[in-house]
Amino acid sequence: MRLLFIGDIIGRPGREVISHELPRLRDHLKTDFVIANGENAAGGFGLTRAIAAELFATGIDCITTGNHWADQREILTYIDDEDRILRPRNYPSGVPGKGAGLYETCSGQRILVLNLMGRVFMDALDDPFAAAEAELGSCPLGEGADAIVIDIHAEASSEKMAMAHFCDGRASLVVGTHTHIPTADAQIFPGGTAYQSDAGGCCDYDSVIGMEKYEPVQRFTRKMNGGRFAPASGPGTLCGVFVETGANGLATRIEPVRVGGRLKQALPEL
């Protein structure tokens, strides 16, 4: 199976680069399934119904989220009815939405997508490792699903890497989101699970992690809050990872993807 995971989509520049580049990418990479983190798609904070529909129309099959998933309160009115949008699985019981979904590709293959959120330097949620164990136990790779992708939305790279080792041999891909910077550690672990600490953001990189520079710089240098963060408005770069799996659902290849904008381009060849 050929899978494309796209990192955090940040505001209009992120959406525009997705709209411009993703149809071509899907055709070039012959993808079977595309997942994107959309928690920053609406002005940098949250996700609306209209923007979700816009993203699905570009060829995204499933949207994961993170700590900003409910910043646009309207999502609470439709997330229970939209199976293609996930919020972190380790939120307390009773919270709207779900944290995992089993989907079918056009060729009939089954893919489990699991959305988790870390706890180091973040909210004190339920244990993400216990949540991963529960989902992997109820839908094992090769039995319940032909591929399994885990989005670990976390601040600490150590927590992300620990999750990948915890799931090694039981998932096709464990990939980090949240820090908006593509890392250079794409690899396949000994058990066959592909990993990258952060897929990066889909945003204008003449910025501070996708946001206009002035306000973050002022907060660091003057220790004063001068206003709201806003997405930087220049050309965006689409960042993500491309993974191929074998018959057993484990990874045989992982490659970074970077197209558009100002970062050095990286386009896998088949």
Question: What are the chain's domains?
Answer: 2-259 (3.60.21.10)
- For residues 44 and 204, give the distance between their C-alpha atoms in angstroms, rounded to a whole number: 12
pLDDT of residue 228: 85
Q: Confidence band (pLDDT; 50, 70, 90) for 124?
A: very high
Q: Confidence band (pLDDT; 50, 70, 90) for 65?
A: very high
- For residues 151 and 35, give the distance between their C-alpha atoms in angstroms, rounded to a whole number: 9
- For residues 24 and 121, give the distance between their C-alpha atoms in angstroms, rounded to a whole number: 37
Catalytic, 68? Answer yes
Question: How far is Cα of residue 247 from the mean position of the Cα atoms in its chain?
Answer: 24
Q: What is the mean pLDDT of residues 161-180?
A: 98
Q: Please, what's the largest Cα pairwise distance for the chain?
A: 56
pLDDT of residue 249: 98
- For residues 126 and 218, give the distance between their C-alpha atoms in angstroms, rounded to a whole number: 34
Q: 41-55, 122-136, 192-206, 212-226: which range is least confident on average?
A: 212-226
User: Which pTM was predicted?
Assistant: 0.96
Res. 224: pLDDT tops 90 = no
Q: What is the mean pLDDT of residues 157-166?
A: 98
Report the 10 Å Cβ neighbour count for 227: 10
Q: Are 231 and 11 in contact (CB under 8 A)?
A: yes
- For residues 106 and 110, give the distance between their C-alpha atoms in angstroms, rounded to a whole number: 10
State the sign of the Cα–Cα–Cα–Cα dihedral 158, 10, 102, 33.
Answer: negative
Q: Confidence band (pLDDT; 50, 70, 90) for 227?
A: confident
207-216 as b/e, with b when 16 or more CB fall inside 10 Å?
bbbbbbeebe
- For residues 180 and 70, give the distance between their C-alpha atoms in angstroms, rounded to a whole number: 19
Q: Are 123 and 95 in contact (CB under 8 A)?
A: no
**Of these residues, 28, 68, 178, 180, which one is catalytic?**
68
Give residues with Cβ within 8 angstroms of 83, minimum separation 6: 98, 101
Q: 44-48, 105-109, 163-167, 223-227: which range is least confident on average?
A: 223-227
Residue type, 214: Y
Q: Are 12 and 196 in contact (CB under 8 A)?
A: no
CA atoms lying within 13 Å on the CB side of residue 54: 18
Own/partner pairs for 138-143, CB < 8 Å, 24+ apart?
A: 139/100, 139/102, 139/112, 140/170, 141/170, 141/171, 141/172, 141/248, 141/249, 141/250, 142/248, 142/249
